[in-house]
Amino acid sequence: MTAGPATDAGRAPAAATDGSPGANGGPGPARAPFDQARAEAAVRELLLAVGEDPDRDGLLQTPARVARAYAEQFAGLFTDPSEVLQTSFDENHNEMILMRDIDLYSTCEHHLVPFFGQAHVGYIPGPDGRVTGLSKLARLVDGYAKRPQVQERLTTQIADALVHRLRPAGAIVVIEAEHLCMAMRGIRKPGAVTTTSAVRGIFQSQARTRAEAMSLITGR
């Protein structure tokens, strides 16, 4: 097992009291755990605010359902997703490892509607040749996606977690996503795909290595 510093690449776990960065990067106090009753009351209030009748048959269970859904969608607020990378193996592998097309569902923090798409995550192990379990790359993406997010920060947090935990020679994260806040409302541009990337280490310093990763990601 390899254990990097207990950094959450942008956010401390809920119970942190050490003055480390708070929710999603900003400084802040330790936060309370998910409050189901409060979330239910808020959803009921929201239904009233939009002119609905929360006491009609079809909506009776809605506040409880939405609260449970939010607990799931925002479960990553109460964990340090980078901890999954503590599972690592001494494979003495020094070539690129890239996982492509990891399905991604997250929640836009501006409108609280989904954005979704694919994440591509790669790294080149450091001199110690340690690699992590393949599923852990997908778990890492999931953990950070389960927070109110913007795509840029999600991308950065995944890359920084790889750097902190694995000490790789390089890391690359590319996310392609569609934002429902741009499709179902507002500017209404369904199908518009936003691509964000974060490159660290050798992927930043060597254009050829970065190009190789990008060609694997795009399949060209």
Ligand X SMILES: Nc1nc2c(ncn2[C@@H]2O[C@H](COP(=O)(O)OP(=O)(O)OP(=O)(O)O)[C@@H](O)[C@H]2O)c(=O)[nH]1
Using CB under 6 A, list all residues that contact ligand X: 108, 110, 150-152, 179, 181-182, 186-187
Tell me which of Zn ion, ligand X, none is bound by residue 38, counting a contact when its beta carbon lies within the kind-specific cut-off of 5 to 8 angstroms. Answer: none
CA distance 167 to 202: 12
**108 in contact with Zn ion (CB under 5 A):** yes
Strand ranges inside the chain, DSSP E? 88-90, 97-108, 114-124, 130-132, 148-149, 170-179, 194-201
CB closer to Zn ion, 59 vs 183: 183
**56 in contact with Zn ion (CB under 5 A):** no
Residue 197's beta-bridge partner residues?
174
Side chain identity, residue 196: T
Q: Answer whether 81's CB lies under 8 Å from 139's CB.
A: yes
| CB 92 to ligand X: min, Å | 38
Binding mask 160-199 for Zn ion (x = CB under 5 A): ---------------------x------------------
Q: What does the block give as tokens for 155? A: 């991308």
| CB 106 to ligand X: min, Å | 8
Q: Is 93 annotated as a binding residue?
A: no
Known catalytic residue at 206: no
Q: Is 164 annotated as a binding residue?
A: no
CB closer to Zn ion, 108 vs 158: 108
DSSP assignment of 1-41 equals -----S--TT---TT--SS---GGGS-----PPP-HHHHHH
The annotated binding site for Zn(2+) is made up of: 108, 111, 181
Residues that are catalytic? 108-111, 151, 179, 181
